[in-house]
Each structure stands twice: as C-alpha cells, then as structure tokens.
Amino acid sequence: MFNKVINDYDRHNLVSNIVGAMSGIAEPKKNHIVNRQLCHFFRADAKLGMAIATGLRVNVETVVVSLNAKHASAEALLSA
C-alpha cells in the first residue's frame, strides 16, 4: 500500500508525521519503544520502515544485532 496507493507527496508527509511524533518519545524507554515501532513499520513495508528509521537517525543494523542478541538470550532461558 505504501508504494502502490500513496503518492510521493503523501508518503513524504506520512513519514514526516511519524518521525515528528516519535522524536518526542522521552527516555528511559525511548529505544525500546522506537525499536518496537520500527519492527511494526518494517513488517508493513520495508521502505516505510527504512524511511522512518532514517528520519529518526536509527542505525538499523545495530538494532537488528541487538534484537538478535536479546532473542538468543530469551531462547537460552526458555530451553534451560
């Protein structure tokens, strides 16, 4: 939908509005909330997720490594 239905102008506005709203998220849970929301946006559309991550200046590779490490830790706890 993000690429097929919404035109360039509206895509830009959507990303700008989301980035603006998410920029106001305060610590201490900021990284957790931003990363969780980015997961949802990436699931909806990879380009949307990447545009929002770029707007928030989030290094996606760092987030993925962090999430993989947390996932591995959780699996280890569950299998113990």
Count Cα atoms within 13 angstroms, Cβ side, for 75: 6
Q: Hey, what are 61's tokens?
A: 């590779």
In this prediction the pTM is 0.77
- pLDDT (tens digit per residue) in 4-18: 889 999 999 999 999
Domain membership flag for residue 60 = yes
Would you state the pLDDT for residue 24? 93
- Tell how far CA 8 is from the center of its chain: 20
Domain membership flag for residue 2 = no
Cα(53)–Cα(19) distance, rounded to whole angstroms? 8
The residue range of the domain holding 30 is 8-79
- pLDDT (tens digit per residue) in 25-66: 998 999 889 988 998 999 999 999 999 999 999 998 887 777
- Tell how far CA 5 is from the center of its chain: 21
Domain membership flag for residue 1 = no
Domain membership flag for residue 15 = yes
Q: In this model, does residue 69 exceed pLDDT 80?
A: no
Q: Domains in the chain: how many in total?
A: 1
